[in-house]
Amino acid sequence: MKYRKYICKICGYIYDEEKGIPKAGIPPYTLFDDLPEDFVCPKCKANKSAFVLLDD
């Protein structure tokens, strides 16, 4: 499976599905689509809709 990365359009934070965000309780290999609807950017607190797929 190819894991993807998503970038926050507000601050540039990159969510990497392979890494997850363990300190926020999101384990590695958590798909972006599987993040809870109330997920917010750990850097700027923007909501999930502020993220777009990062092209390789």
For residue range 18-43, what is the model confidence (pLDDT) as tens digits? 999 999 999 999 999 999 999 999 99
Tokens of 21: 């965000």
pLDDT at 4 over 70: yes
Sign of dihedral through CA atoms 32, 2, 43, 9?
Answer: negative
Q: How many CB atoms lie within 10 A of CB 55?
A: 7
This prediction's pTM: 0.92
